[in-house]
Structures are given as structure tokens and as C-alpha cells.
Structure 1
Amino acid sequence: MTDVDASQARARVYRRRRIVVFSALAVVIALVTTGGVYTANALGAAVPAAAPQVIDPEPVAAAPQPLALPGFGSYAVGAVGFDGLVAAGNESAPMAMASLTKVVTALVVLEAHPIAAGEGGPGIEYTEADVDIYWDQVAQNSSVAPVAAGSTLTLRESLEAMLLPSGGNYSISIANWAFGSVDAYLERARAWAAEQGLAETQLADTSGLSLDNVSTATDLVRLGQIALADPTVAEIVAKPTADLPEVGTVKNSNKLLGTHGVDGIKTGTTDDAANLLFSADVPVGGSSVTLVGVLLGGETHAVLNEAIAALLDSIAPGFHEVVPLEANQVLAEYTTPWGESARARAADGASVVVWSDTPVDVEVRAEPVTLAARGEEVGTAVVHVGAQEISVPLVLDRAIEDPGAWWRLSNPGALG
């Protein structure tokens, strides 16, 4: 081999070595670069969310409550704070209200002349004109309460004379005082009834003496609820008696008052029928439910009262307390791909008072969780009771923490 041939051979070997070295270097660089990108991506990637395994409580429903329903007339009973009616029969039939009309008179007058709590309101001076009204009502066989010319009663006392013994003469005198005339009062009273949604209620006078004063049991339950919401009316109709200056002691005509939980509201009597718009408090656990009802068309008040007493006694046991959720009750469980677990618990308990067989159901709305601290809110438990809903937050009972670098690097397929 010549020197030239040897030199060329050495050059070829050098070139091959350089190619191998640089190729190996490129592979090393590629591996380092790829590994660094993977590591960075793995350590910075979001961990997968853990889906909740929901634990749905069983719905609660009692047996239907049997009722002792009246076998006559038109009636309806509702409960304050509850949807619909507890009991009803012929509730849409228009019937004469009689003296239940005086409840409207009281509310409309008090709208124009409200009485502050603990006060008697403005004074009303009674004159010979009011005495004439008294005798005119006596001649029409209307219920009345004594009145003396020259006497002054507060508005509260005047309302007591109208509502307790059902003094029809006072309904006219109060309307004249408040609005200037009965016609002006009726204009406002009819508008007021429409505003209150009493669409089937027709008003012809202040006292109910006219049979043209008509309403339905459904409307009258609504009227009773409005009356109880007025503190002056609610206080007056619950009184068995009242001592009035220059009038004497007047007695409440509601003979059921103080029995069967009854604390109001107003009697009504026509030549053919006895009516009662009533309210009663029913104890349930540590609270109570207020019932408002009406029965129209009794043969006598004795017959009417017996039917209402039996109805109330049968309704009362139908209200009961249900506890669909306990505080700290487990409603969902979480398990992460890296082996951590936590439970969603009700932050608070929930109790509800229900009527009869009204179902109580709990809907669990738990959300997926990635990383979260102990006590973090992760959803809601919604208690459904008829149209009512009660929401209780769901919170984690332990933290769900990051799985760490090793799990991230060794589980590339689990990372988002």
C-alpha cells in the first residue's frame, strides 16, 4: 500500500467514526430532550376527576290520613305554609257568607286606618245617627251590639263590637266613619277583594245581611289567612270577651273558641244556614301548624260545630315531622385513581312537617372532584316536599391531595 492509499484509508475511518459519534450524540440529545418534555408535562398535567358514587336515601311517605268529613254544605281547610287544601268538598260552590262579610269590612277599614301594635287607634264618636242605624238593623233582624249617642270608642274597640258579638250596626257606622259612606266603602272593598285574588267573592253591604254577599269555601280560606296575617284582627277574633266603655261586656259568638285548638275567626248566620270561618293551631313536635277553614250551610250552629270539631280532630294527627337528612350523613363517596378516598356528608340536618301521605324525597347533586380540601363544598342535597325545596350543602370529610411526582411519571395514560 502506498502512502497515498494509507492516507485515504485513514480518512475514511475518521469519517465513519465522526458519523457514529455525532449520531450517538443526536440520540442522547433526543432522549434527554424527550424525557424532559415528558417529565414536565407529567408533573404539570391535571389529575383525573373522581366521580361520585351517590347514596340516595329512600323516599319517605306515610299512609293517607283518614278524615271525618262533613256530610253537608260546602267546606275547605288549608294549612298556613302548605300548598293546596287539606280537605275540601263543594269548595267552588258560591254560597251566602252572612256575617263572614264583616271580616272583609275589618280588613278594608284597617287598610285605610292601620292600628299600631298595643294601641287602640283613632277615636270614633257615635251620634244619634248611629243609634238610628242600630234600630234599623234590629228591625231587619240583624245581629247588633249596643251603641250610645255621645260615646267614643277607639277603632279597636269598635272592631271588637263588630266582630265578637257580630254587631251589624257597627259595621255600617265604622264604614261611614272610615270612607264617608257605605257606597264609598263598597267601592274600595270590591277593589280590595279583586286585589287579594278573591275572584268569587261578591260584596253587597258591610255586614252580610244581604244574601247577595256570596263567596266560595276556597275564597274564604284565603280570606281567613289574610285575616290571621293582620295582627289586629287576629288578636280580636281570638278573644272570648271584651269590655267596652258605655257598651259593657261583649261575648264572642264563636262557641268553638278555645276547644279543639280553635282560636278564631267568625260566625255567620242566615235564615237558612249556619257558617263558621275558623282557625286552629295543631301542635306538631316542637312547633305547630295553623289551620284555616270554613264550613258553610249547617242546619244549626250546634250541628255545624260538631262537624267542624270532628273534622279538626281527624286532621290534627295527619301532620307529622319527618327527618329526611341527618347532619354528617354520608350521601356520596369518592375514590381516586391513585388510591385516595373521601366521602361527601350533609353539612346540616333537615326536618320538615308534612301532611298525611305527602312524599319526602332527597335528591343528591354531588359533583366530580379532583383536588379538594377537607370541608370543601362538593354539591347539594335537595329535600323535596311537594312544591317546597330545602337545600343542604355537601362537604368532604377529608382532603383529596395531589398524588405526587412518582404516580404522575408512572401513570402517563391516566393524566389529562
Structure 2
Amino acid sequence: MSRTLESAPPAPPSPSRPSPAVYRRRRIVVFTALAIVLGLLIGGGVYTTSALGAPIPAAAPAVDDPDPIASEPQAVVQPGFGTWAVGAVGFDGLMSAGGQDTPMAMASIAKVVTTLVILDEHPIPEGEGGPDIAYTDADVDIYWDMVAQNGSVAPVVPGSTLSLKESLEAMLLPSGNNYSISLANWAFGSVDAYVERARGWLADHGLDQTTIVDTSGLSLDDVSTAADLVRLGEIALENPTLAEIVATRSVDIPELGPLENSNKLLGTHGIDGIKTGTTDDAANLLFSADVAVGDSSVTLVGVVLGGDTHALVRSAVADLVDSIGPGFHEVDALEAGRPLAAWATPWGETATGRAQEGASVVVWSDTPVDVAVDVSSLRTADEGDEVGTATVTAGSEVIEVPIVLDAGIHDPGAWWRLSNPGGLDHGVAADPPAARPTPAG
């Protein structure tokens, strides 16, 4: 039996290979897409790193400087004769003056210099009388010599012994010229030695317009200016022994009896010192006075030289003190908590810088009180941080008050940084634009 053989179906045609041009196009598309994806991944990472690491912008302060404070000028009742000057302890300059640089005979005000020079050599501890001094017939001779010259004297007893403090009381209260000489001889060996020491003391204290030729001021060549004598009075009040003596109306020394202070203004108009002076032609008074200012007080130191009588000088001094005193006043320059600066950040936080404490000053007349605020820009800070200083200035007095934040300024966080690329402070580029290379093409 025969078989009929059938032929196999034809095989499917094999796919044709792409042409080289098609292959190149496909490769370009693939690698371009890959590059775009990689670029997005890499670029996003660079941006994220840059945004999260860049400094946040600094918030600039809005400053509120208080306006200067000044009162009306104080009217002063001036003497209208001689020369005068009035200052105040702790205040620069003079409150009132007339002819303050004109040299005038100071008379027994010179005994203030004598006292200070002696106490420099022999200081008296507080509450004590100092060394004992024996008085002899030689001191009695000095007494009678001063009487012959029509100088003021205090009694002296041969064979008596007084403490240094008692001896100074006899010199200062009744203005005993004889005790000024006896004390100079005791302390320095002679009047000439004292005068040499006194001139050095004056130079050391900058009293260049004051001349000393003796211990008592009896000579008209013992001269000074009102400005110098105000400074001398301030130095005198710094010495506790001298300040106590000149504020005393009278003492009773057993060997000498009662001694009265020649300053008849003591205890009136707040006056508590310092020394009278009398020449053949004029009366002088170097004075100190305490005037109340709020809860405190101010010590005035002044002098009037060249009055016809002590009564006239006393009246002039009383008018000066009474008219100058009310010119001192307390100014509340800052209140605690007063807002002085404010900060607002681009991400919505705000904080205020406030005075940590109050500040008040006592000023004279129309002396201006100024407050200067010094703060800077802030990036972050905590509540209570000190962020600046408010400087209160009134004449020579300066008070610095810290400024503190009443709220914190915090980092805005990652989301604000990523969503506000234009608000970040990226710093200065490593290369300025002009120095960057120009791309080829």
C-alpha cells in the first residue's frame, strides 16, 4: 500500500532586526529618561540638604528709643556781690557761680587746708580723739601774739593736754589762729615746714588756684577762687573727723570751757558746715547743706566771698540754698518691663525686648535725661535672654539696664525651610558671578 506524503507547512518568517538608526534612537530615549530621573533624585537631595542646612534669616529689631526728658531751668537767687559758686557732691560742674575763677582772700577758710594736711599726717580713727598734745608756755606766747595782731583766738592753758580732735575743735569752731600755729609746730616742726607740706597737698588735689602762706589765713596772700573752694569743701566732707567737727554748734572742753561755732547758719536751711572767714575788708563762708530730693538727699557745697558783713553773707547763702535745692528732682527714666525693641520673623514669630529693671536719676535743673537703646538682629533666642542694653545718661551719671526678651524666637523647622527657599540666608557664594566660568556652547 502506498502512502501519500504531505509537505510540512512553511515556517513563519523570522522578525527582522532593527536598523542601526532605530537602535540609536531607542538608546537615546532610554538614557535620557534615566538621566532625568537621576537628575531629579540628585537635585532634590542637593536642594533638601542646602535648604535644611542654610541659616535662617535674621530678624531686624524695631527700636523704640524714649524721648529725652528735660525740665525747665531752675531760677537761682544770686548774691549780687563778691564771688560765689555752688556745687553738689556727686554732680559735675557748678549749679550756680559768679566770678568763680577770680582769686580772693579766703581768710580763716585756710584752716580747712590746715586741718586736712594735719589729718593726712595724723589720721584719727573713727570714734577716737587721736594722739594727745601737751600745751606749754610757748603756746601761750603764740596766743598773745595773735591777740596783738587782732586775730581770732581760742583759750590755751599751759600744762594742759588736749587730744588732737579737741585741738582741732579749738582751731575750727571759734577759729583759733593760735591753735593753727601750735598744731603746725606739733605736726611738722614749724610753720614753714607746714606751708611746704600744704602746698604739695594742694598740688596733689588739683587746687591750682589756691595759695597758702600761713596756717590761719590771717595773711591777705592766702587766696583762692570760689571754684577751688567748692572742691576743697567736698574734700573736707570726705574726712569723717573734719565733717563731724564743722557740723557741731558747740563743745565743752574741760580744760578750755565752752567753744561756740562761728558759723551761725548751722542747723538752718539744711546747713551743716563748713567754715567762716573774716578779713579786714570782707566776710566769707564756705558752706555745706543737705537738701531733700524725694526719699534721698543731695549735699550742696558752696562758698560766698567778699561780703561786707557776715549777716549779708548769711542772707546770701540762705537764698542760694533755698533757691537751688528745689532744682534737684528725681526722673524716672525707665520703668521695669518697658518695651524698647521688637522682632518679627518671616515665619510668624514675634518677641519684645523689655527693660529688665527700672532706672531713676536725680538731676539738677534742666539737665536732660537720655535713654539710648542698643540691640541687634536675632535669628533664634530664648525667652529671658539678654539681647541688648538701654543706657541712661544724665550729665556724668550713666546707668546701664539689660534688655531681655519676653518670648522665644525659634527655628522654623524643616517644612518652612523647604517651602521658602527664597527666605533662607545661603551666605556668600564661593565665587562671585563674574568669576564663574562661562558654559561652552
Alignment TM-score, normalising by the size of structure 1 = 0.97
Cα-to-partner distance string for 1:234-259 (whole Å, 9 max, x where unaligned): 11100111121311111111000000
User: Are 1:7 and 2:12 an aligned pair?
Assistant: no
1:30-179 aligned at under 5 Å gives the runs: 30-179=39-188
**1:314 aligned to which of 299, 323, 344:** 323
What amino acid does structure 2 have at the position aligned with 1:136?
Answer: D
Superposition deviation, residue 363 in structure 1 = 1.0
1:268-287 aligned at under 5 Å gives the runs: 268-287=277-296
What amino acid does structure 1 have at the position aligned with 2:92?
Answer: D
1:3-402 aligned at under 5 Å gives the runs: 6-9=16-19, 13-402=22-411
What amino acid does structure 2 have at the position aligned with 1:64?
Answer: P
User: Are 1:415 and 2:424 an aligned pair?
Assistant: yes
Using the aligned pairs only, state the percent identity: 68
Superposition deviation, residue 19 in structure 1 = 3.1
Cα-to-partner distance string for 1:355-389 (whole Å, 9 max, x where unaligned): 00111111111211110000111111111212322
Q: Which runs of 5+ in 2 are unaligned?
A: 1-12, 426-441
Contact persistence 1:365–1:381 (CA under 8 A):
yes
Superposition deviation, residue 15 in structure 1 = 4.6
Contact persistence 1:153–1:245 (CA under 8 A):
no
Q: How far apart in 2 are the matches of 1:144 and 1:374?
A: 71
Cα-to-partner distance string for 1:294-350 (whole Å, 9 max, x where unaligned): 000111111110111011100111000000100000011111111111101001100
What amino acid does structure 1 have at the position aligned with 2:164?
Answer: L
Superposition deviation, residue 41 in structure 1 = 1.0
Superposition deviation, residue 390 in structure 1 = 1.3
What amino acid does structure 1 have at the position aligned with 2:383?
Answer: R
Superposition deviation, residue 12 in structure 1 = 5.3
What amino acid does structure 2 have at the position aligned with 1:245?
Answer: P
What amino acid does structure 2 have at the position aligned with 1:347?
Answer: Q
Q: How far apart in 1 are the matches of 2:415 and 2:18?
A: 54
Contact persistence 1:242–1:250 (CA under 8 A):
yes
Contact persistence 1:346–1:394 (CA under 8 A):
yes
Q: How far apart in 2 are the matches of 1:36 and 1:152?
A: 100
Superposition deviation, residue 22 in structure 1 = 2.3
Contact persistence 1:66–1:314 (CA under 8 A):
yes
Q: The residue matched to 2:17 in structure 1 has which SS? A: helix
What amino acid does structure 2 have at the position aligned with 1:35?
Answer: G
Over alpha carbons, which structure has the higher Rg? Answer: 2
| 2:10 equivalent in structure 1 | none
Contact persistence 2:237–2:243 (CA under 8 A):
yes
Q: How far apart in 2 are the matches of 1:43 and 1:295?
A: 76
Q: The residue matched to 2:16 in structure 1 has which SS? A: helix
